[in-house]
Structure 1
Amino acid sequence: MCTLMNFLGYGPPIRQARRDAYRERDRLMNARWTSIITMITTGSKAEGLTGFYESDVDTMYVVEGIMCLENGVDSDKLPRETTVFTLNTGVCYHGHSRLNLRELYGDIIPSIIRDALCKDENGGVFLSSALFVDAANDRTSVPTEMRHERAGPSLPISTGPFHTDNVFSLRCHCPVILSRWAERTRHWPPPDIVRKVVTMGSFVTPVGFKGSEYQHVEWRICFNTGENELMSSLNNTQVYIYVLLKLVVKDVLKPVKKEITSYTVKNIVLWLAENNPQAQFNESSLFYWLREGLEKLRTAILKIELPYFMIPERNLMAACGLDEGQKCTWVNTITDMMNEVSNTLLRLPRIRKAIISHPEPLVWYNKKRVEMELLLLKLINRRRQCMDMNGVVNMSDPMLQAINSRIADLVIEVHTRMNMEGSRLNVLIEILNMMLM
C-alpha cells in the first residue's frame, strides 16, 4: 500500500518538489508587489499533498503594517508605523476574537482597513470582519477570473480548471495561546519543530463562529504557517493515513455542506501523532493507524466534538450542521469500513483503479504524470521570471520553450498509448488536464 501511495504522487520526493515550487511562487509574487500585501500559499498545496489541479490552491494575503495583540501584550517593540488592534477573546467562542483598535497611524493605514473600521455603542473603534471581506472583494477584481460565492473567510475564484481560495488576513501575536500549546506533554513534534512553530506566530482571518449572532464582527485565530511546518514534519505513514482519510471523506462520506472537511481529518492525524510514539508509525502498521483514524472520525461525528489541535478549547465540530439522520448513516458507514480492514480501500475509486492497473501501466503512467506536474510547476514560476512590469511574458526565453516542448511531447506519448489501448479521446488539452487532476 505504501508503494502504491508513492506511485499515486504522495511520496517524499514529489511532496518536497511541490512545497519548493509553491514557496518559490510566493517569493516571486511578493518580489513584484509592494510591501502592503504578502502572499502565502497554505493548505494541501503548501503541504505538497495534492497535484496541480487535484484541489484548490489556498492562498493567504496578509495585510502588512497591522498587528493584532493579545490583551496585555506590549506594543513597544513594534515598528512605530504599525497599526495595532487588541484581541478581545472574552466575548467570543474559543479561537475567535473581536479586534479593538489600540493604536492608529493616520495616513499609513491601508484603505482596506480604514473601510472596515466601526464604532461600538461606547465610542470604541473595532474592525468588522464582514466589511473587511467586502473591501477585499472590491479591490481584487480581475476580468479574466470567474468569481464564486464567498465560503467562510475565502473569496474563491477560478481561471479555467485552476481554482484558488483567497483569504485576506492580518498578523497576530498571541504568546499565551502558543505557550499553552508548546508546553503540552507530547510524543510529537520534536522540540525544535515546536520552537519553530511558536516563532511563526499566528494570523486572524475574517470569519466568526457560525453559531454567533455577532459573527460579522468576529475573527478566527489560525496558525497557517505553523501548521504547514507541522504537516511537513510528519513521517510517511502519518502522511498516508491523512491522505487516505481525506479520500474516505471525499469519496465515501461525500459531505455536501462541509459538515466534515479535510481540516477535520488533518486535526485527527495531528492528535494521533502527538499522543503516540513516532516509532509506532511505520509501513507495517499503516492499516492499524488507518483504523484508529477512522475510529477518531467516527467518535467526532457521533459526539459532534473534535478539539482543535492548536487551541483544544475550540470544538471543530461545533455548529457543523450535521443532522441526526446523516450522523447515523456516516457512523454506520465508518463502522463497516473499520470491520473491512484492508478491503476498506476498495471503496476509494482512486485506490481501486491503481490496484487494478498495477504494476506496469501504473508505473509507466505515473512516471509521465509526475514529470508533467514538475514541468508545469517549473513553467509557472519561469513565466513569472520572464514577465515584465506590464505582465507580458517573454515567450522567446529558451527555458520556457524547452518546457513547453517537453510538455507537448509527454501529452502525445500518453495520447498514443491511450489510442493503442482503445481510447478515442483525441483532444490533447483534455488529456493534459486529466493528467494534472
Structure 2
Amino acid sequence: MESFLLRIGNGLQHISESLFVGMCQMVGTSKQVAIRRETADIEDMLNRQLNTNGKVIRMLSGSHREGFRLKGSDWDYMIWLNDHRVIIDMSQYCNTANTTLILSDSSESPPGFALLELLTRSRYGVVQLACITMNDRVYISSSTHRQLICSSVIPNSVEHGPCGSGYIAGTLEYDTAWSFVSDCWPPSASSWIDRCHSWPGPEVVDDIIRNGIHFVAIGHPLGPHTNEEWRISFSQAEYKIVNSMNHCQFLTYGLLKLFLKEVMNQQSEDTNKLLCSYHMKTTVFWAIQQNTLPHWCPQNLLAGFWVCFKLLLKWVYEGVCPNFFIPQNNLFLTKIHGPAQNRLFLQLHELYKNGLACLLQSSSIRSYIIDVLYNPTLSICTDESTLRSQVDYDVDLVTESAITIVSMHTTNLFHFNKAMHTIEQLVYSPLTHYQAVTMQNFTATLFQYTAFQLQNLYTNTVCNKQLYIADKISRQMLKLAAKFGCVSDMLYIAMYYYKTLRYREALFVLEMTKVKLAQPYLMYRGLVDRERYTEAVGGQSWSTKMRQAVAYNVSLWNRIGYISDLLLEQQSALRDKSKQILFIPVFVMLHFLEFLCYRHVDTTLSQAALDELQVLVHHDQGQLVDDINRDITWEILGICQQITGNLQAALFSYEQSLTQYPFSNIQTATHKRIQDILSQQ
C-alpha cells in the first residue's frame, strides 16, 4: 500500500482533492469557518464597547477563535484590565488619573520577553499584591500574578503555562490567560514588518500594528528574571493572519494539527510533549510567507502539507524554531535540544522516509486517501457548495450564536441606554449576515434581561404609576424580544406573566409555545429533521426561521429574580463566580411553567403537566435534555413534587440531582430542600 502510494505520481492531485473534501468535513468549509469567526468577532466588538474603563475585557483566542472545532481542543481566552496600559518607552508616558501605566523593560530579557514596571498605582488588588521591588523600582511579578489569579480569580483552576486551566462539565478544558495590553508594536518585532512584502497584505499588517500586543504571565526559563518576566503575546495578530489565509492554507494548518495529534505525538512517550499546535501554526506562517508553494489550492493540499513537514523537520534537526514575529526567539530552546532533540528528529525522519504515505498513520485522514487508491476513477468535486446544505449552515449559526450570547457579560440596568446606543451604531455599520443574526439574538437577550431587572426594581415601589409604567415597558420589551427572537423566547413572556400573577395570560402564551415546540421541523440543540425543516422554512428569511423553527435552552441570569420558585437555585449557583447563568432545557421549563400556572387555574391540568415533566425526566435519552443539565432538571421535578406534597418522590428527585454532574452548581440549594423535607417528616 505505502510503496504504491509513493509511485502514483499524477494521482497525488486526485488524493489532494479527496483530502480537501475530507478536511472540509472535519474542519469545516470556508463558509462554516466564516460563521465561527464572524460571530466571535461581533462578541469581541460588543464586549469592548459595552465595557467602560475599569472593567475586564475578555476575548476568545486560540484555535476556537481561528475557526477550528476539532474534537478535544480546549477553549482559550485572553483577559485584560481595560484601564491598564503598557508603554514601550517613557516618551509615551501620559499622566492620567483613569489609566494605570506600566513600562515594558526588555533590556535584560531574552527576545520576546520583558519586565513590567508599574509606573502608577493600580486600583486592582491582584496587581498590587504581585508587585516586587528591584533596584528601587516596582515590578509586577509574573509568577506571583499567575498564582494569585489561579487561587482567587479563576475558581477551580490550576497553572498551565501563563494560563489558569480548568474543566467545564468535567471534559471541556479551558485556558484563561490574564494579561496586560499595549497599543504599541515592540521594536523587537520590527523586522516582521519589513518581511511582509506579499503576505500578509498591507491592510492586515497595518491593522495588526494598530492593535498592538499583550503581555502574558510567564517568563523565559533560561532568562535572568524567570519569575518576574512576562512573555510578549501576538495572539491578536496571529488570529488576523490566520484570517488572511485562503481556505486551502487554513486546511493545511488543520491537517498539520491532526497529523501532530494522531501521528507525530504517538511515536513515543519520550517525545509526545515536545511539539505543540503553536509550532504547527508557526510552520505554516513561515511556509506561506516564504512563498515556498506558489499555488495553495485543493489540488496542492498534499504539496502544501509536505512543504510544511519538511520545514518542521529542518527546524528539529537544527534545534531552532524561529518565532514568526521575533525570529531571535527560538521556540525550541528549552525543550527540543540534546538527546530529546535527537530522538524526535529520528522519529520524524522515519516518517519523512515514508513520504506522503506517513499520512496513512492518521486515523482521521487515512480513509480519504484509501478511498481514492482503491477507486482511482472516483469523481471528486471540490466545490464547497456541494459539501454542506443550507441546514448545516443554519445549525452552525444557531450553535455559534448561542455560544456568543451566553459568553457576554451581563449589562447593568443603568447601562441599558449605552448598550442600546452601541447596538444602534453596530446595526448601521457594515455587518455580515452572520453578525447581524448574532446582534439580533443579543438584542433579544438584552431586552429580556432588562425587562426582569426593571420589574424587580419597581416591585416594592409605593407609587402605582411608576409600577404601571415599569410593567408596561417590561411587557413591551419581552414581546419585542419574542418578535425577532426564537421560539423559546416566548417562555420569558410566560415567566413574566407568572411572576406578576397573570396566570391565564401565561397559559395562553405557553399553549402557543407548546404548539411551536411540537413541530417536527424544530431545530434544538443542533438536532433537526433536515427534510422537514427544509420543507417548512427552507428559503425563508433568517428571522422567520428563528421565530418558527429554532429553540434554545432557557438562560436565567443568576443576579436577577425571574420566578420565586428558583431563587434558591440561583443563589446557590452564585457561590461560584463563574456561574452567571442557569441553563434550563426548554421542554423542562415549558412543563415547569405549565405546572406552576395551572395550580392557580385547574389542578387536574397541573397534575397532567407534572406527569409530562416526570416522563421527560425519567425517560429522555439525551434528545431533549442535555446530560450536563440533568442536575437542574431533576431539581425542577423535585420542586414540583414537593409543592404537591409528594415528599418521598421529591426526596428521590433531589437525591438524583446530587448524583448528576454539578454543572449548575445548585448543590447547596438541593441540600437545603432535602433538609426541609426531612424536617417535615
1:58 deviation in Å?
A: 0.9
Equivalent residue runs for 1:1-40 within 5 Å = 1-29=19-47, 35=53, 36-40=55-59
Query: Is the Cα–Cα contact under 8 Å of residues 217 and 231 in structure 2 kept in the other structure?
Result: yes
Amino acid at match of 1:96: F
Bigger shift: 175-184 or 210-219?
175-184
Cα deviation, residue 158, structure 1: 1.7
Query: Which residue in 2 is equivalent to 1:116?
Result: 130
Q: TM-score, normalised by structure 1?
A: 0.81
Residue 378 (structure 1) aligns with: 401
Moved more, 378-387 or 205-214: 378-387
- In the superposition, relative to structure 1, how do residues 408 and 228 fare at CA in structure 2: closer, same or farther (>3 Å)? closer
Deviation digits for residues 295-316 of structure 1, max 9, x if unmatched? Answer: 1111222222111000111001
Aligned 8 A contact 2:79 2:178 in 1:
yes
> Quick one: structure 1 residues 150 and 373, their matched pair in 2 at CA, closer, same or farther if it must change by over 3 Å?
farther
Whether the 8 Å contact between 2:319 and 2:341 is mirrored in structure 1 is: no
Please tell me whether residue 406 in structure 1 is matched to residue 416 in structure 2. Answer: no
Q: 1:46 aligns with which of 37, 61, 65?
A: 65
Q: Cα distance, 1:431 vs. partner? A: 12
- Once residues 61 and 411 of structure 1 are traced to their aligned partners in structure 2, the CA distance between those partners, rounded to angstroms, is 36
Q: Deviations over 1:172-225 (max 9, x none)?
A: 224423433212264311222111111111111110012236311010012111
Q: Deviations over 1:23-53 (max 9, x none)?
A: 23334555665632111111111111225x5
Flag the 1:80–1:183 CA change in 2: closer, same or farther, 3 A: farther
Quote the offset at 1:319 in angstroms: 0.3
Q: Which has the larger radius of gyration?
A: 2
Structure 1 residue 155 corresponds to structure 2 residue 164:
yes
Question: Structure 1's 262 and 141: CA in aligned 2 closer, same or farther, altered over 3 A?
Answer: closer
Secondary structure at 2:64's aligned position in 1? helix
Decide which of 364, 388, 407 is 1:350's aligned counterpart.
364
Contact 2:79/2:179 (<8 A) preserved: yes
Residues 153-172 of structure 1: per-residue CA shift (max 9 Å, x gap): 11012211432210000012
SS at 2:68's partner residue? coil
Contact 1:187 1:273 in 2 (8 A): no
Q: Which residue of 2 aligns with 1:171?
A: 181
Q: How far has the Cα of 1:281 moved from its partner?
A: 2.2
Offset of 1:110 from its aligned partner?
1.9
Partner amino acid for 1:170? F
Residue matched to 2:89 = 71
User: 2:263 & 2:626 partners in 1: Cα distance?
Assistant: 27
Shift, 1:127, TM fit: 0.9
**Matched residue, 1:129:** 142
For residues 102-145 of structure 1, the C-alpha deviation after alignment (integer angstroms, 9 at most, x for no partner) is: x31x4x6322221111112x321111111211232244245xxx
Q: Do 1:345 and 1:352's aligned partners in 2 also have CA atoms closer than 8 Å?
A: yes
| Structure 1 unmatched runs, 5+ | 414-425
Q: Which residue of 2 aligns with 1:88?
A: 105
Note if contact 2:109-2:224 (Cα within 8 Å) is conserved in structure 1: no
CA RMSD of aligned residues (A): 3.7
Higher share in helix: 2
- 1-structure distance, mates of 2:325, 2:129: 31
Name the counterpart of 1:283: 298
CA distance in structure 1 between the partners assigned to 2:354 and 2:75 by the alignment: 34
Q: Does 1:313 align with 2:328?
A: yes
In 2, Cα distance between equivalents of 1:10 and 1:223: 25
Q: Which of the numbers 301, 304, 309 marks the counterpart of 2:319? A: 304
Cα distance in 2, alignment partners of residues 335 and 353 from structure 1: 24
Give ranges in structure 2 of 5+ residues lacking alignment: 1-18, 373-377, 379-383, 409-441, 457-477, 490-515, 531-619, 628-681
Asked whether 1:428 is paired with 2:632, we answer no
Contact 1:65/1:109 (8 A) holds in 2:
no
> What are the superposed Cα offsets for residues 245-272 of structure 1, whole Å, 9 maximum, x if unpaired?
1112111122767421111111111111
Change in Cα spacing, 1:54 to 1:430, as seen in structure 2 (3 Å) is farther
Residue type of the alignment partner of 2:149: A
Counterparts in 2 of 1:345 and 1:371: CA distance versus 1, 3 Å: farther
Task: Kindly indicate whether the alpha-carbon contact (under 8 Å) linking 2:131 and 2:138 is maintained by their aligned counterparts in 1.
Answer: yes
Distance 1:127 1:89 in 2: 14
> 1:242: Cα distance to partner?
1.1
C-alpha contact 2:112 2:188 (8 A) present in aligned 1: no
Matched position secondary structure for 2:85: strand
In 2, are the aligned partners of 1:187 and 1:278 still within 8 Å (CA)?
no
Provide the TM-score with structure 2 as the length reference.
Answer: 0.54
Tell me: CA distance 1:320–1:409, structure 2 relative to 1, closer, same or farther (3 Å): closer
SS state at 1:229 partner: helix
**What is the CA-CA distance between 1:294 and the residue it aligns to?**
0.9
Structure 2 counterpart of 1:38, which letter? I
Deviates more, 1:66-75 or 1:399-408: 399-408
The equivalent residue for 1:224 is 235
Q: Summarize the Cα distance change of 1:354–1:308 in structure 2 as closer, same or farther, 3 Å threshold.
A: same
Looking at structure 1, the residues matched to 396 and 167 of structure 2 have their Cα atoms a distance apart, in angstroms, of 19
In structure 2, distance between residues paired with 1:175 and 1:89: 10
Preserved CA contact (<8 Å) 1:411 1:431: no
Q: CA deviation at 1:9?
A: 2.9
Q: Partner of 2:332: helix, strand, or coil?
A: coil
**Aligned partners of 1:370 and 1:322: how far apart in 2?**
46
Quote the Cα distance in structure 2 between the aligned partners of 1:62 and 1:8. Answer: 33
Deviates more, 1:280-289 or 1:349-358: 349-358
Question: By how many angstroms is 1:357 displaced?
Answer: 8.6
| Partner residue in 2 for 1:242 | 253
Q: Is the 8 A contact 1:259 1:322 kept in 2?
A: no
The DSSP-based 3-state class of the residue aligned with 2:227 is: helix
- Matched residue type, 2:153: T
Task: Choose between structure 1 and 2 for higher RCO, CA contacts under 8 A separated by at least 6 residues.
Answer: 1
Q: Secondary structure at the match of 2:346?
A: helix
- Spell out the pairing of 1:192-211 with structure 2 (5 A cutoff): 192-211=203-222
Task: Tell me, in whole angstroms, the C-alpha distance in 2 between the residues paired with 1:284 and 1:431.
Answer: 44
Letter in 2 for 1:25: E
Report the count of equivalent residues.
Answer: 408
Which amino acid is 2:193 matched to?
A: A
Per the alignment, in what secondary structure is the counterpart of residue 204 of structure 1? strand
Counterpart CA distance in 2 for 1:192 and 1:45 is 24
> Residue 100 of structure 1 corresponds to which residue in structure 2?
117
Offset of residue 64 of structure 1:
2.0
Amino acid in the other structure paired with 2:37 = R
Report the CA distance shift for 1:292/1:356 in structure 2 as closer, same or farther (over 3 A): closer
